[in-house]
Amino acid sequence: MSVDRYLDRLFDRLAGTGAAGRRALTEAEDHLRSATEQGTAQGLSRVDAEQRAVAAFGPPDAVAAQLRAVHRPDAWLRPAFTGAWLAGGLGLVAIGVSGLAAEVFGRIYGPEFVAGDGPGVTYTAARCAEYLHLFPDAGGCAGAAATDHWGEVVQYRVLAGVLGLILLGTYGLARRRTELGEEAWRPPRGTVAVPLGVLFAVAGAGFTGISLMQLAYGDRAMLGANLSAGIVALAAAALCFLGNARKRRHPAGTAA
Amino acid sequence: MPSFLGMDLRGHLDLLLLAALRQTGPVHGYALITALRDRSGGAFDLPEGTVYPALHRLERDGAVASAWDTGTARKRRVYTLTPAGEVALATKRTHFDAFVAGVRAVLQHRAVMVP
């Protein structure tokens, strides 16, 4: 088969692949012309050199099928899936850390600092009785309610963190033992760290800003809960950006 | 399917291409394939058309970058190893070394056990 005929067949089989197919066809032509030139330089006739070049290149069906597989429209889904998995795990772990921070705040500054109610919030006598039954040493209905809410803040956030650790653990395991470890599944560098860092930064600025406003206006409702979330989110954002910058300088490990 | 003495090379094609690209520096596809064949002493005489989909895949995954070189008689796509490609090469090489060591250990063990 001549080079031109081979390129015609390859062109037919790459129909519908757009720019990727056009690029592949240009590369194939350059390759086959170069191989033909080499063949003629070695003393082959042009016909023989073209036939040898075409034979060495492989059947157009197989080449086109492989190119189609690489450029199929859903190729981005795999790294997007693993990226979402990784980002979800890291986000949940950050929430868990904010739960631990809320625990520390509560122990240092008291449950009211973390989960105290705003001015004017009251409870029914029955509800107060429930809170005081749970926390008889809280020093009153408001204190008992704050202690209960503090426990909920810490508990739910830490549970989210545990779920995040499970997600990250299974991700690591899946990367070692399944095809998720292959390059095709790996999110390109920065595609997890940067968006996640931006998300953390926005959340951190929001929660910290709310906390500062509360301090300015003397509103202590859920102040510690907001502050712990803000501080941890800002720290997580810094870690994301620093980690990404470090990987750019010293590429090693995962690409995300 | 790329093969060497009947063995499937698909799992090692990326490693071979990344390693060859690291040694050659920026290069177009034909020269890369020629380098691969020459450096293997002709052992890796791949169906040359299969190398381009592999290069496209490596580029999609960020391991190589490419750009058109229009300074030659024909328009050519020149490939370069990226920092992520360096990492991928080191990882694949580690895995390959472990694989070879494992196979060799099994073969040597068998040679001892079965005289």
B110 near A CB under 8 A: no
Shortest CA gap B95–chain A (Å):
11
Contacts of residue B97, Cβ cutoff 8 Å, sequence gap at least 6: none
- ipTM, interface predicted TM-score of the complex: 0.80
pLDDT tens for the 256 residues of chain A, in order: 899 999 999 999 888 888 888 889 999 999 999 999 999 999 999 999 999 999 999 899 988 888 888 887 676 788 888 999 999 999 999 999 999 999 999 999 999 999 988 878 889 999 999 999 999 988 889 999 999 999 999 999 999 999 999 999 999 999 888 878 776 677 877 888 999 999 999 999 999 999 999 989 888 889 999 999 999 999 999 999 998 888 766 654 444 5
CATH class of the domain at B3-113? mainly alpha
In B, which residues are within 8 Å of A69 by CB distance?
Answer: 53
Is A46 in contact with A40 (CB distance < 8 Å)?
yes
Given CA atoms B27, B28, B33, B37 in this order, what sign does their dihedral have?
negative
B87 and A252 within 8 Å at the Cβ level: the answer is yes
* Token pair for B98: 């472990």
Residue A219 and residue A171: Cα distance in Å, rounded?
Answer: 42
Q: How far apart are the first and last CA of chain A?
A: 45
State how far Cα A133 lies from the chain centre. 44
In A, which residues are within 8 Å of B77 by CB distance?
Answer: 23, 26-27, 30
